A and B are shown apart, each in its own frame.
Chain A
Amino acid sequence: AQSVAQPEDQVKVAEGNPLTVKCTYSVSGNPYLFWYVQYPNRGLQFLLKYITGDNLVKGSYGFEAEFNKSQTSFHLKKPSALVSDSALYFCAVRDNIGTYKYIFGTGTRLKVLA
């Protein structure tokens, strides 16, 4: 069965410091991986995706993610955090067996301290 794990419920980082939000996945075959961000009482916004190609994927708002096949990870990163990055971040994997279902992690709350 396909699954996604976000091992940290919360990540705290000082403004200006680099941030990492972790995600590991389990899927048979090639993974289709996504990161979304959610602000309070809002829907999810798409940040970036990995389908194939370069392991470093660049996305919106200065975020990037590194796909590591051997470690089955897809960690979200940003070189310099902003207070406005404080939000709930979700990692997701899409199935590759034709049902086009998405499995979401439980989310990681990022808090950037001024």
Chain B
Amino acid sequence: DGGITQSPKYLFRKEGQNVTLSCEQNLNHDAMYWYRQDPGQGLRLIYYSQIVNDFQKGDIAEGYSVSREKKESFPLTVTSAQKNPTAFYLCASRKDLYEQFFGPGTRLTVL
């Protein structure tokens, strides 16, 4: 099965902790994206990567970090600097120039 997987499905973070969300794709897509979804706010772009070893900040990058060492993988770290991290996080990859394909999401909750 080709697709995008995200893990874990649910994640709990204590204050001051860094946590890493996994995103893997076997679609052979070059571009990958991380979004944050909050109720009533739609999707907001955190980081995106057009190609391996390169990534750019999106609209709300503060408190987050990423790496893109492999084409298949684009992990997102939520650092302790992100003061309000409770949200639903979505990873996506892009086919050619057009539509994106989304993973199932990770719901992060701060305890």
Contact = CB atoms under 8 A, between A and B. Distances in A.
Interface string B47-77: 0101000001010000000000000000000
29 contacts: A34-B99, A36-B102, A41-B105, A41-B107, A43-B4, A43-B90, A43-B92, A43-B102, A43-B103, A44-B92, A44-B102, A45-B102, A46-B99, A46-B100, A49-B99, A51-B98, A90-B42, A90-B43, A94-B98, A99-B56, A100-B48, A100-B50, A100-B94, A101-B58, A104-B35, A104-B44, A105-B42, A106-B40, A106-B41
A31 interface: no
Interface residues of B, number: 29
B10 to A, nearest CB: 10
Interface of B: 4, 6, 31, 33, 35, 40-45, 48, 50, 56, 58, 88, 90, 92, 94, 97-105, 107
A58 B23 CA distance: 30
Interface residues of A, number: 22
Interface string A28-47: 00001010100001111110
Q: DSSP class of B's interface residues: helix, strand, loop or mixed?
A: strand
A105 B39 CA distance: 12
Given A94-B98, A101-B45, A104-B35, 13 more contacts: A32-B98, A34-B100, A41-B88, A43-B6, A43-B104, A44-B102, A46-B100, A49-B99, A99-B56, A102-B33, A102-B45, A104-B44, A107-B42
A45 B107 CA distance: 18
B86 to A, nearest CB: 15
Interface in A6-49: 9, 32, 34, 36, 41-46, 49
Nearest to A105: B42
B57 to A, nearest CB: 11
